[in-house]
Amino acid sequence: MLRAAGIVPLVQVSAVDEDAVARAQGPFAPPAEVVCALAAAKAHDVAETMAADPALRGHLDDAVLIGCDSMLHIGDRLEGKPGTVEAARARWQAMRGAEGELITGHAVLRIRQGRVVDQALGHRGTVVRFGDPSPADLEAYLATGEPLRVAGAFTLDGLGGWFVDGVDGDPSSVIGISLPLTRTLLERVGVTVAELWSARD
Residue 64 domain-assigned? Answer: yes
Residue 7 domain-assigned? Answer: no
Residue 91 domain-assigned? Answer: yes
Q: Using a pLDDT cut of 70, give the percent of the chain over it.
A: 98
CATH for 144: 3.90.950.10
- Please determine, for residue 168, whether its predicted confidence score (pLDDT) is greater than 90: yes
Active site residue 69: yes
199 confidence band (pLDDT: 50, 70, 90): low
Mean per-residue pLDDT, 144-149: 94
- Cβ-Cβ contacts under 8 Å for 130 (sequence gap 6 or more): 95, 96, 97, 98, 99, 100, 154, 163, 164, 165
140 confidence band (pLDDT: 50, 70, 90): very high
For the chain, the first-to-last Cα distance in angstroms comes to: 17
Residue 53 domain-assigned? Answer: yes
- Cβ-Cβ contacts under 8 Å for 40 (sequence gap 6 or more): 67, 105, 107, 119, 121
The domain tally of the chain equals 1
Task: Tell me the residue range of the domain where 103 lies.
Answer: 18-198
Residue 69 domain-assigned? Answer: yes
- Please determine, for residue 200, whether its predicted confidence score (pLDDT) is greater than 70: no
Residue 2 domain-assigned? Answer: no
Q: Model confidence over 86-139: pLDDT tens digits?
A: 999 999 999 999 999 999 999 999 999 999 999 999 999 999 999 999 999 999
Q: Any idea how long the chain is?
A: 201
pLDDT at residue 201, as a whole number = 52
Query: Which residue among 53, 69, 76, 201 is the active-site one?
Result: 69
Residue 3 domain-assigned? Answer: no
Residue 4 domain-assigned? Answer: no
pLDDT at residue 43, as a whole number = 97
Q: Tell me, what amino acid is at 148? A: L
